[in-house]
Amino acid sequence: MARLDILVYPDPRLRTRATPVEAVDDSIRQLAEDMLETMYEAPGIGLAATQVNVHKRLLVADVTDDRSGPHVLINPEIIEKDGVEVMEEGCLSVPGFFEKVERADHIRVRALGLDGQPYEMEAEGLLAVCIQHEMDHLEGKLFVDYLSQLKRQRIRKKLEKERRLKPQTPDRAPAI
């Protein structure tokens, strides 16, 4: 098990469109496990591979209070959506900001499970919102894209400033 680093807006890597998982193998199962650990530790109710800089179509979610409802969705597709829900959303890649976003409140999703087998699930309320939020990440889309340009720019500027004030962890070790 490993905890992964989460990219923070406006990191351009969050704009990458993820590609389908070709084979559900042990490396994918390990990634899903690491993503669940990272999500629970954060804590968050969902996490898309995009957020940990892996640009594959995989997401995890658990909207329960006691970590009793983990979902792993590989190559997810929404096959039905219904109704409208406005919910205050947050994002681990946009820390500290919460804004209302409108989404479908009932969805039916087809995905591959950790065994590589296709399955379908229905979700409503918070889980439906969460899965739509995660699937947006896989398209390089963030909840701030639904806000006004003014709000989005305010958020971007505050997070850029926080990043400048924070000691930087280099992507690779410096070559001395």
Residue 172: count other Cβ atoms within 10 Å of its Cβ: 5
By beta carbon distance, the residue nearest ligand GNR is 44
In sequence order, which residues have a C-beta less than 8 Å from that of residue 154 and are 6 or more positions away? Answer: none
Residue 45 or 104: the one with the smaller Cβ distance to Ni ion is 45
Would you give the binding string for ligand GNR spanning residues 73-102, x where CB under 6 A is met? --------------x-xxxxx---------
- Judged by CB under 6 A, which of 31, 32, 35, 45 binds ligand GNR? 45
Residues in contact with ligand GNR, counted by CB under 6 A, come to a total of 17
CA distance 22 to 101: 32
Q: Is 39 helix (H, G, I), strand (E, B) or coil?
A: helix
Question: Is residue 60 a contact residue for Ni ion (CB under 5 A)?
Answer: no
Q: Are 19 and 138 in contact (CB under 8 A)?
A: no
> For residue 155, what is the enclosing H or E element?
helix 149-165
Would you give the binding string for Ni ion spanning residues 74-103, x where CB under 5 A is met? -----------------x------------
Residue 71 or 133: the one with the smaller Cβ distance to ligand GNR is 133
Partnered with residue 60 across adjacent β-strands are 47, 72
**Would you call 134 a catalytic residue per the annotation?**
yes
Question: Is residue 60 a contact residue for ligand GNR (CB under 6 A)?
Answer: no
Question: Is residue 18 a contact residue for Ni ion (CB under 5 A)?
Answer: no
Q: Are 101 and 51 in contact (CB under 8 A)?
A: no
Q: Which of 120, 134, 139, 162 is catalytic?
A: 134
In sequence order, which residues have a C-beta less than 8 Å from that of residue 129 and are 6 or more positions away? Answer: 85, 87, 89, 101, 103, 105
Residue 96 or 118: the one with the smaller Cβ distance to Ni ion is 96
- Judged by CB under 6 A, which of 21, 31, 36, 48 binds ligand GNR? 48
> Which spans of this chain sit near Ni ion (rule: CB under 5 A)?
91
